[in-house]
Amino acid sequence: MTITSKLPQVGTTIFTVMSALAQRHGAINLSQGFPNFNPADALQRLVFEHMQRGDNQYSPMPGLPLLRERIAEKMARSYGAIIDPDTEITITAGGTQAIFCVVGAFVGPGDEVILIEPCYDSYRPSVETMGGVAVVHALQAPDYAIDWAAVGQLITPRTRLICINTPNNPTGRTLAAADLDALAALLRGTDVLVMSDEVYEHLIFDGREHATVLTHPELRQRSLAIYSFGKTYHNTGWKTGYCIAPPELTREFRKVHQFNVFSANHPMQAAFADFLTDADQYLGLPAFYQQKRDFFLEQLRGTRFKPLPCEGTYFQLCDYSAISDEPDFDFCKRLTQEHGVAAIPVSSFYSDGRDDKVIRFCFAKTDDVLAAAGELLRKV
Ligand code: GLN
């Protein structure tokens, strides 16, 4: 029997590979992005209470109405965005599932999708599973500056979607309002949609404000914005997120979502609906993670790693060219095996494997772990 792979180039994701390697070698795992601390006790208790109350069967397909209402309130409070909870919000099984549904709903064979690399490693395989073609604008270390005129050159009559991500995984850079204006100008008069991955919306530092497509007068009409409770409430394993888009786009999104997972975790949704009423829980996030970023940067002082600017997310990029000229994957493997700290090679976020000798550390860890990692990194 011959099996025809739809994704012949794809192996196991780098996040799984590096986490497994870290575990095998007992290394400190700063590779895959997840916190090593628990979500708030109160939130955990709410999940259990809802389970005991009987919220254990399927939730409505688009998500619990109360949760969608609370999200709409949060978006109004945070950004002044007016969102209709019934027709514009869909609760998903995490951000990655939402991304897959956006692509599934709007991209068909031969359709082109513009990716700005380095980007999260699910974008391209999602496009290729649907028979779409990824068209890439590749950014370079250390600035990772987007040349919007060059992005504009990539638009053709086959372009269906462009994917943006701010704050950005892995670069840690953010888009400014002017970037969204530049994108809006490029798309004016086209039918190109925008997938705006905003899962790190609250992890933004040094007084910056998150630039969301939801309040952009032009982009709002053509955008599907994606969010993640996992990033906001320290529970990436609960796999709950959501997609916000105008009614006509949400209608198509839900056609795919309902046959992909049907609905997301019911007790988690009920707990998030209760917990969202306490805005302090997420308003404190920029300060919380900025302290971690700065603590990790202090740990890196005296190493030969050169940190690149980090404006948001819980990722710190470092140039290691003063230490080695090995390919970044080999360097990460050796760092894990010989030095006891796991990181992600940034080449994994480029489809051509571009290697600028930059690796990504996740600093969503308790200070003791970051300090222990620092001690090991100072010996590299
Ligand atoms: N988004 C996280 C990261 O970039 C992990 C996602 C995953 O493991 N699939 O590390």
Tokens representing residue 103 in the block: 């692509």
| pLDDT above 70: percentage of residues in the chain | 100
Give the integer Cα–Cα distance in Å for 32 and 24: 15
Per residue in 174-197, pLDDT (tens digit) is 999 999 999 999 999 999 999 999
Distance 32 CA to ligand 1 centre (A): 5
| pLDDT above 90: percentage of residues in the chain | 99
Among candidate residues 210, 209, 207, the one with its CA nearest the CA of residue 225: 210
In the predicted structure, residue 120 carries a pLDDT above the cut 90: yes
Residue nearest ligand 1's atom 5 by CA? 33
Of the pLDDT bands very low, low, confident and very high (cuts 50, 70, 90), residue 218 is: very high
Residue nearest ligand 1's atom 7 by CA? 15
Q: What is the pLDDT of residue 191?
A: 98
Distance 174 CA to ligand 1 centre (A): 18
Q: What is the pLDDT of residue 14?
A: 92
For the chain, list the domains and their CATH numbers: 14-32+284-377 (3.90.1150.10), 57-278 (3.40.640.10)
Residue nearest ligand 1's atom 10 by CA? 33
Give the integer Cα–Cα distance in Å for 370 and 128: 37
Average pLDDT estimate for 108-118? 98
Q: List, chain by chain if needed, residues with CB within 6 Å of any ligand 1 atom.
A: 13, 15, 32-33, 169
CA atoms within 13 A on the CB side of 273: 18
Taking all residues of the chain, what is their mean pLDDT, rounded to a whole number? 97
Q: What is the pLDDT of residue 9?
A: 86
Alpha helices (runs of H) in the chain, residue ranges in sequence order: 14-24, 41-53, 65-79, 85-88, 95-106, 123-129, 148-153, 177-187, 219-222, 229-232, 247-260, 266-275, 280-283, 285-300, 328-334, 367-377
In this structure, are residues 270 and 264 in contact, taking their beta carbons and an 8 Å threshold? Answer: no
Nearest-atom number in ligand 1 for the CA of 16 is 8
In this structure, are residues 334 and 326 in contact, taking their beta carbons and an 8 Å threshold? Answer: yes
Distance 2 CA to ligand 1 centre (A): 32
Nearest-atom number in ligand 1 for the CA of 15 is 8
Put simply, whether the predicted model's pTM sits higher than 0.85 gets the answer yes
**Other CB atoms within 10 Å distance of the CB of residue 316:** 24
Contacts of 358 (CB under 8 A, 6+ apart): 141, 142, 308, 317, 318, 319, 320, 328, 346
In the predicted structure, residue 256 carries a pLDDT above the cut 90: yes
